[in-house]
Amino acid sequence: MDLKSLIRDIPDFPKSGILFRDITTLLQNPEGLRYVIDRFTEIFAEQSIDYVLGIESRGFLFGTPLAYNLGAGFVPVRKPGKLPGAVHGQDYELEYGTDRLEIHQDACPQGSRLLIVDDLLATGGTAAATAKLIEPLACTLVGFGFLVELSGLAGRQKLPECDINVLVEY
């Protein structure tokens, strides 16, 4: 399936000079959405994944049905103040400033096999922060799944060495 044909380009969003890859048009297409979930399921079916971690917020859209298909649990990775229990947190650099991600301290039993899923791999900051975030959990990071990679931004170079799967590359 030609997923690029289902992703809309929005010039000058969120600011002038940026070409935004809008996946909402793919999400609206039943065949496209089904293809993405089915393809991720095929890729990771033999990896013995215990938990799929979805990065807020679009990682939830792909991570939850993927976890269901894999017979795994789903764990949300959230912005600060969104999780009610005790959390581990990880700060990371943005173009202008910093941000933070959090995960429940009891999200996954020690030794679990984890898969991190998000919609976009750009500069790699968010995904790399999520990989660091799970270190205190003493689990195994099996890999990453991204719908889109903006390869010119070299985000995968910031990620730990593991399986990185991308369905659409720009």
17 falls within a domain: no
Asked if residue 169 has pLDDT above 80, the reply is yes
119 falls within a domain: yes
**Three-class secondary structure assignment of 92-121:** EEECCEEEEEEEECCCCCCCCEEEEEEEEE
Binning pLDDT at 50, 70 and 90, where does residue 11 land? very high
Asked if residue 60 has pLDDT above 90, the reply is yes
Q: What is the dihedral sign for C-alpha 48, 120, 57, 123?
A: positive
CA dihedral 149, 61, 117, 170 (to 10 degrees): 0
31 falls within a domain: no
Looking at the structure of the chain, the number of domains it has is: 1
79 falls within a domain: yes
Q: Which domain holds residue 83?
A: 48-169
Omega cis (within 30) before 5: no
Question: What CA–CA distances, in Å, run from 9 to 19, 98, 155?
Answer: 6, 27, 20
* pLDDT tens-digit map of 121-164: 999 999 999 999 999 999 999 999 999 999 999 999 999 999 99
Task: Verify whether residue 58 is a known catalytic residue.
Answer: yes
Residue 19 CB coordination number (10 Å): 11
132 falls within a domain: yes
> Which member of 39, 56, 58, 156 is catalytic?
58
The answer to whether 116 and 55 have CB atoms below 8 angstroms apart is yes
Asked if residue 99 has pLDDT above 90, the reply is yes
What is the model's pTM? 0.96
21 falls within a domain: no
- Coil/strand/helix, residue 13: coil
Q: Residue 75: which CATH number? A: 3.40.50.2020
Task: Verify whether residue 135 is a known catalytic residue.
Answer: no
**Mean pLDDT value across the chain:** 97
Asked if residue 97 has pLDDT above 90, the reply is no
2 falls within a domain: no
110 falls within a domain: yes
* pLDDT tens-digit map of 13-37: 999 999 999 999 999 999 999 999 9
